[in-house]
């Protein structure tokens, strides 16, 4: 049985794998990344977008060892966290910090309203029209996230805040468009997203399901 939650899909974003400049203490390099995504379907322009077993049509990932694949086909992010990230960027005194981040800036495919990581468990399902997505894991950010956000402590901030977003597999492919309602079908409810994020926050990366 699914739960009616008042959750809705605000935007669907995609991105191509493009060069990304990354820098750390004493090193810098240009790597390929698909983290920079841009809204394709929005509330103002609710274009229908296909979701396939390996992700949203037109989306790309550069490093398939850590992104993409069946268990990380779609990445969803709560819209409620955007204000917090905008404040972190202002604190970092970034040149463009006065300009709010656009949906897709976290590298997400789906921007959701009304659903946080703390309300989900591994194995829960998101029902969006004909599409069924299964909750697989929270995101473990890599160094590319620092580059995308523009300051060097972004990875730390994501881990410490628990604002990780949600990796999803595609159980039933189909068509999505912004504005669609999202229902939750509870899974076994044995391992919560919050418990995994808490372990990572405390430095215990290995979690057994």
pLDDT tens digits along 131-155? 999 999 999 999 999 999 999 999 9
Reference 99, options 89, 114, 109; nearest CA is 89
Model pLDDT, residue 208: 34
- Model pLDDT, residue 62: 84
Return mean pLDDT, the chain: 93
Give the torsion sign (CA, 194, 132, 107, 72).
positive
pLDDT of residue 23: 80
For the residues 101-113, what does the mean pLDDT come to? 98
pLDDT of residue 204: 61
* Predicted pLDDT at 64: 77
**How far is Cα 115 from Cα 95, in angstroms, rounded to an integer?**
31
Compute CA 191 distance to the chain's CA centroid, rounded to the nearest angstrom.
Answer: 19
* pLDDT given for residue 68 in this prediction: 85
For 10-69, the pLDDT digits (tens) are: 999 999 999 999 886 567 889 899 999 999 999 999 999 999 999 999 999 888 777 789
Residues in a beta bridge with 40? none
Cα–Cα distances in angstroms (integers) from residue 4 to residues 39, 114, 183, in the given order: 26, 11, 5
Superfamily of domain 3-201: PK beta-barrel domain-like (2.40.33.20)
d(CA 91, CA 74): 30
| Per-position b or e across 112-122, b if 16+ CB within 10 A of its CB | beebbbebbbb
- pLDDT at position 206, please? 43
Residue 4 binned pLDDT confidence (cut-offs 50, 70, 90): low
Percent of the chain with pLDDT over 70: 93
pLDDT for res 66 = 73
- pLDDT digits over 170-186, tens only? 999 999 999 999 999 99
């Amino acid at each position: 049985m699914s739960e009616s939650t008042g959750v809705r899909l605000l935007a669907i974003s995609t991105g191509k794998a493009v060069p990304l400049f990354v820098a750390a203490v004493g090193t810098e390099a240009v790597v390929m990344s698909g983290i920079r995504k841009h809204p394709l379907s929005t509330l103002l322009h609710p274009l229908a977008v296909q979701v396939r077993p390996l992700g949203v049509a037109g989306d790309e990932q550069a490093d398939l060892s850590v992104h993409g694949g069946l268990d990380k086909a779609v990445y969803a992010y709560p819209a409620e966290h955007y204000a917090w990230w905008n404040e972190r960027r202002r604190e970092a005194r970034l040149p463009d910090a006065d300009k709010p981040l656009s949906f897709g800036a976290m590298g997400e495919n789906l921007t959701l309203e009304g659903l946080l990581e703390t309300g989900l468990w591994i194995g829960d399902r998101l029902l969006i029209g004909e599409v069924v997505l299964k909750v697989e894991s929270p995101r473990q950010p890599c160094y590319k996230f620092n580059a995308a956000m523009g300051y060097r402590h972004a990875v730390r901030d994501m881990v410490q805040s628990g604002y990780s977003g949600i990796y999803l597999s595609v159980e039933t492919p189909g068509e999505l468009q912004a504005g669609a309602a999202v229902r939750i079908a509870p899974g076994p409810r044995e391992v919560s997203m919050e418990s995994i994020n808490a372990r990572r926050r405390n430095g215990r990366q290995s979690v057994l399901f």
